[in-house]
Amino acid sequence: ELREAIFKVESRIEKLESNKESNNFKLFEDYNLTYLQAVELRDDDIEINKKILDSLKKEIRSLGNVNIDSIEEYKETKERYDFYSEQKEDLQKSIEAIEEIIAELEEHMKIQFKEEFDKINENFKYVYNRLFGGGEGNLTILDEENILESDIEITAKPPGKKMKNLSLLSGGEKALTAISILFSILLAKPTPFCILDEIEAPLDDSNIARFGTFLKELTSRTQFIAVTHRRGTMEAADYIYGVTMEQRAISKVIALSLNEAEEMTDII
């Protein structure tokens, strides 16, 4: 009888151990708690309705796996979000400030461009009449709303002819019109130094003479070097530098001051 009693007790202990393990597993599965954690949270004064308990269990299961580090990750993510949000706000303010500066600069450029353009256009009318010995020339901004990117139309009326677009002029007329624009710019904004490379080559002798005379007038504010084969241009120069080849593959430079040459001629 004693052995039988001991056997029953041992069987009971094994069953209780099994139930304990099963309950511990269920406790962790349903509530994500260990036995010791559950003991700490136990409150015998609380009565829980079974339906409410089942509903809470269902809601807990619907949450899925719980990320223990989620709170810390949220804090880090929130810090990064706040940092980048602040950076974005600073960048947006910088963009707005730069756009405002650009708008002010563009407005200033438009005003300055229009003022200089009007000066050049007035000069062009004067220079064109001088170089052609008559006629009219005009520069027109085609898009007044966007003058910084607008095309500019060049119209010219040589003496005795109708007003034409630049593309309809002859080669000599185009060349002299282009020279008129260059000289108009130099009158409005003189440059210390300018090189002319046979720009007057297509002109006839009468136009060459007027070209040389006007070029001479511009030398008071601009120094010119003109590469040319035209006699009229050479006659307007102060100094002439000629390049010749007396021997094969050997170039020689000859320099001549026209003022000195004239003085020598007067003496002779």
CA–chain centroid gap for 40, Å, is: 67
Give the pLDDT of residue 49.
Answer: 67
- Residues of the chain where predicted confidence (pLDDT) is lower than 50: 268
Contacts of residue 40, defined as CB under 8 A and 6 or more positions apart, other chains included, come to: none
Give the pLDDT of residue 121.
Answer: 96
Torsion of CA 63, 68, 72, 74, to 10 degrees: -20
Give the pLDDT of residue 265.
Answer: 52
Packing angle of the helix pair 2-31, 50-62 (nearest 10 deg): 60
Give the pLDDT of residue 227.
Answer: 94
Contacts of residue 246, defined as CB under 8 A and 6 or more positions apart, other chains included, come to: 252
Give the pLDDT of residue 2.
Answer: 66
Q: pTM of the predicted model, to two decimals?
A: 0.63
Give the pLDDT of residue 268.
Answer: 46
pLDDT in tens, 2-56: 677 777 777 887 887 887 888 888 877 777 777 777 777 776 666 666 777 778 7
What phi and psi values does residue 223 have, to the nearest 5 degrees? -90, 130
Burial 131-157 (b: 16+ CB within 10 A, else e): bbeebebebebeeeeebeeeeeebbbb
Six-digit token pair at 160? Answer: 């005795």
- Residue 201's Cβ-side half-sphere holds a number of Cα atoms within 13 Å equal to 8
Six-digit token pair at 236? Answer: 């307007």
